[in-house]
Structure 1
Amino acid sequence: MNTATQAFTTEDISAEALGDLLARQRASYRANPMPSADERKAKLALLKEMVLRHKDALMDAMSADFSARSRHEMQLAEILGLIEMIGYLSKRLGKWMKPERRSLALHLLPGKAQVIYQPLGVVGIMVPFNYPLLLALGPLATALAAGNHAMIKMPEATPRTSALLAEVIAETFTPESVTVVNGGPAVAARFSELPFDHILFTGAGSIGKHVMRAAAENLTPVTLELGGKSPVVVGPDFPLEEAARRLCYSKSMNAGQTCVAPDYIFVPEGQVDAFKAAYKKAFNTFYPKISDNSDYTAIISERHQSRIAGWVEQARAAGAQVEPVTDEQVDDGTRRQVPLLVTNVDRSMTLMQEEIFGPVLPIMAYKNLQEAVDYINEGDRPLALYYFGFNKAHQQLILNFTHSGGVVFNESMLHVAVDDLPFGGVGASGMGHYHGKEGFITFSKPKAVLYKPKFNGMKMLYPPYGGLVDKVLGFLIR
């Protein structure tokens, strides 16, 4: 690792050193506060070339951090997702940068009103462990497209990936433009206390509260991507086996360690057993075995394994029924985990209160759609909501009578891959967006600008009032 990277990857990096790094980035930004479209595209091209050049090493590092991670999933969800996002941003940022004309009231004429999108300055990006490459470089790409500089705090749970990304970023960008900071919770806390121009945090809501509290000391605007319990409702008109197949694919992706993974499922009353059988069939078709299966990803750490097991055992003790999707015993030395289907659950269980973030799927029966909607609305607003069914009235009920960051009909999770859609939560699942044009705006200041010519029409409204002013006001108000 080169010295430029090593200076900012120690566990005990001080608040002063972090502040100095931020000051250097601020000074660099001030020297070129409105980079051209070509300059921004050049940085995005560097980022793309970096990802492609180091993709194998980065995937090796991620797999080692997880103890086992599907290479195909990494290529699909992290590498391809990044490349497509960079291409999308590069194609559109020139258009987004153009000043937008706005209308003027009659009494303000002549003149010209417009909005210009100015870079904020320096953006702080705080990254979770589950998709460490995509959730570091995706926000970075959007911040660069908006003309900003960036500091990235990588997760301590992925030490190999975090160290390697710090190294390749240092080889690609100057520290005054983009840099990576590594370290544990103390470094994360110091990072969130820096007076950035914007902070984007992706992770648990419990940590997001601390980040927001620290940012408030500097009045730093914050975008929070927090996840939550994303529900699924399978309608009576949707083929049950097909629903199970689609949901098994998305829930199994990254072993359920995805912020928009299906967290619990409602199926029509009387169809729970059929759904479980269809889900088991789908899983065992996708993954004939778990041990030594390069297609199946492991849990990130023993701590998270213990957390998931504890929640399952608590639910079992409270009366829940727990069924593995296969009788296989995993013995390959990794943290790959057999998925579990859990029924007879209620909201008092931790499993039904906290985001599971693992291959455990609670299943509940419902009598009518309103019952499922009422249950969803009684909890925190989720990051995503999924409805399987073709009935337009039911789809409209879901859209109008629930709140969530996003809604997908007849599929799950894929809305995240649509670059042109904003991505973000609502309430407990987060605030703000960073995909699409909305992401560009998040990292920009929409600055109001009014131009007035030499001729001054406002002089007709100057005091002393009366006479001409009364006539003009009377005309305008009518």
Structure 2
Amino acid sequence: MKDILSAQRDSFMAALPEPISVRKDRLKRAAAMIRDHADRFCDALSEDFGHRSREQSMITDIGGSISPIHHALKNLEKWARPEKRPVQFPLGLLGAKAWVEYQPKGVVGVIAPWNFPVNLVMSPLAGVFAAGNRAMVKTSEYTPVTAALFEEIVGRYFDPTELAFVSGGPDVGQAFAELPFDHLIFTGATGIGRHILHAAADNLTPVTLELGGKSPVIVGKDADLKQVSERVALGKMLNAGQICLAPDYLLVPSAQESAVVDGIRTAASAMYPTLLSNPDYTSVVNDRHYERLNQWVEDARAKGATVDVVNPAGEDFGSTNSRKMPLHIVRDVTDDMTLMQEEIFGPILPVRRYDGIDAAIGEVNRRDRPLGLYYFGKDEAERRRVLDRTISGGVTIDDVIFHVSMEDLPFGGVGPSGMGSYHGLDGFRTFSHAKAVYQQSKLDVAKIAGLKPPYGDATRKAVARQMGG
């Protein structure tokens, strides 16, 4: 890995400045790499998961990878323009100028997770390549077939000094994070994010962390409950809930709890009338996660929760090793249940009642700041109060998850749900160095401003002007 990094950095320094035409060419090759092998990627994803919906993979990992690349291609020239900045009076009148140039940083390390193992490689690469960088990608050991496919095909589209993939377990991930990259982006669990930050610290590598957390849904007092039910069920069951932005728990007005639960059950049953042999429904990725999810349900049940398993066809999940897990709606949840302490990352939906919007806001605010927050409701004052009184990475109003798909919005967390952001212009800037450039006037500004000894009246006037006198 050190040799790859060294070769990439040498190649980068020799090539500076990276022309826009080269950056565009890399973006086009990145899109072609995914488009040309879309079927094989879908097969690999399904093999890694045990079963993964082909159509879902096409939407989230194939289309979802190519779309941000196209967005970058369309906007790159605008993003890369130097940005004029004003200079303090009277320097502008004397001919001084100031501007910001966006330069590539060099070699960016990308540590990708297993839940969207194509999209969460390619979406960061859209910004990385647009900014003119080279990249090394560490793939997840939980999706080895997808990782092997990347390693097999990358050489047909990129020289190793432009883009390289490495795979392996936690020891490889640790060594990767310790490399002296010019920037490092990690997507994954909060606990691992702490280790990544420690590993990067010795090199003072700037880090973008895309983590997770318990993203709440607040159902407002006058929300359209049919809309809430359908959209929350869709968001929770997509990828079997294995999404960093999945609605993690539901906050509903006490009087509406039963209606919302009934609505979600109905909506989930309509989308997935069967589960075990349904090609549209994805499996839990591995035995460890499957066992974890089932243990958390049993923990909640043992502590007094009511568990509603949405199994419309009455299928026998105990007689299969498919790791398909039906939606579990869990009511009467309390803080001592693991479900309310950890990010769920699976098809389990705790429901909590509240009375008055400030109680719901308080429920969100006593937990770690989440990656996403979702509010449904027509009351503008209530919506405004939720937006003003909560802090989250991003918000989707009247739906879940969708803010991540808006390329012109920054995507990132806050506090335990992450630091920094990317996508679109914000990704370009994250992976660029904003270099300040100042061009001095031809006049002797130091003398005019009283900066040149011997100091005198001009100096005293300059200080008074600085102090607002």
Aligned with residue 463 of structure 1, among 440, 443, 453: 453
Q: Which residue of 2 aligns with 1:337?
A: 325
Conserved? CA contact 2:307–2:329, under 8 Å: yes
Conserved? CA contact 2:95–2:442, under 8 Å: no
Aligned with residue 303 of structure 1, among 282, 288, 293: 288
Aligned with residue 158 of structure 2, among 173, 176, 193: 173
Count of residues in correspondence between the two structures: 461
Aligned with residue 104 of structure 1, among 84, 87, 99: 87
CA distance, structure 2, for counterparts of residue 202 and residue 418 of structure 1 = 18
The answer to whether 1:428 aligns with 2:416 is yes
Residues 1:289 and 1:110: Cα distance change in structure 2 (over 3 Å): same
The answer to whether 1:41 aligns with 2:24 is yes
Residues 1:466 and 1:84: Cα distance change in structure 2 (over 3 Å): same
Superposed CA deviations along residues 251-305 of structure 1, whole A, max 9, x for unmatched, are 1100000000000001111222222211111111101100111100000000000
User: Cα distance, 1:38 vs. partner?
Assistant: 1.2
Superposed CA deviations along residues 145-194 of structure 1, whole A, max 9, x for unmatched, are 01000000000000100100111212211111100000111101110110
Q: Which residue of 1 aligns with 2:262?
A: 277
Q: Which residue of 2 aligns with 1:131?
A: 116
Q: Using the aligned pairs only, state the percent identity.
A: 46
Equivalent position amino acid for 1:466 in 2 = G
Q: Which residue of 2 aligns with 1:154?
A: 139
CA distance, structure 1, for counterparts of residue 164 and residue 465 of structure 2 = 59
User: Cα distance, 1:237 vs. partner?
Assistant: 0.8
Superposed CA deviations along residues 357-400 of structure 1, whole A, max 9, x for unmatched, are 00000011111110010010000000000000011111111111
Residue 271 of structure 1 aligns to a residue whose secondary structure is helix
Q: Which residue of 2 aligns with 1:244?
A: 229
Q: Which residue of 2 aligns with 1:25?
A: 8
Aligned with residue 315 of structure 2, among 323, 328, 343: 328
Superposed CA deviations along residues 402-430 of structure 1, whole A, max 9, x for unmatched, are 00000111000011110000000001100
Superposed CA deviations along residues 435-469 of structure 1, whole A, max 9, x for unmatched, are 12111111011111101243233322222121444
User: Cα distance, 1:328 vs. partner?
Assistant: 2.2
CA distance, structure 2, for counterparts of residue 244 and residue 278 of structure 1 = 5
Normalised by the length of structure 2, the TM-score is 0.96
Higher mean C-alpha deviation, range 264-273 or range 453-462: 453-462
User: Cα distance, 1:59 vs. partner?
Assistant: 0.6
Equivalent position amino acid for 1:82 in 2 = S
The answer to whether 1:398 aligns with 2:398 is no
The answer to whether 1:234 aligns with 2:224 is no
Residues 1:266 and 1:28: Cα distance change in structure 2 (over 3 Å): same
Runs of 4+ aligned residues of structure 1 deviating over 6 Å after TM superposition are: none
Equivalent position amino acid for 2:11 in 1 = S
Q: Which residue of 1 aligns with 2:55?
A: 72
Q: Which residue of 2 aligns with 1:315?
A: 300
Equivalent position amino acid for 1:337 in 2 = M
User: Cα distance, 1:475 vs. partner?
Assistant: 6.2
CA distance, structure 1, for counterparts of residue 224 and residue 461 of structure 2 = 70
Residue 421 of structure 2 aligns to a residue whose secondary structure is coil
User: Cα distance, 1:320 vs. partner?
Assistant: 1.0
Structure 2 stretches lacking a partner, 5+ long? none
Residue 328 of structure 1 aligns to a residue whose secondary structure is coil
The CA RMSD over aligned residues, in Å, is 1.3
CA distance, structure 2, for counterparts of residue 274 and residue 399 of structure 1 = 25
Conserved? CA contact 1:107–1:458, under 8 Å: no
Residues 1:242 and 1:469: Cα distance change in structure 2 (over 3 Å): closer
Structure 1 stretches lacking a partner, 5+ long? 1-17
The answer to whether 1:348 aligns with 2:336 is yes
Aligned with residue 277 of structure 2, among 292, 306, 312: 292
CA distance, structure 1, for counterparts of residue 161 and residue 351 of structure 2 = 50
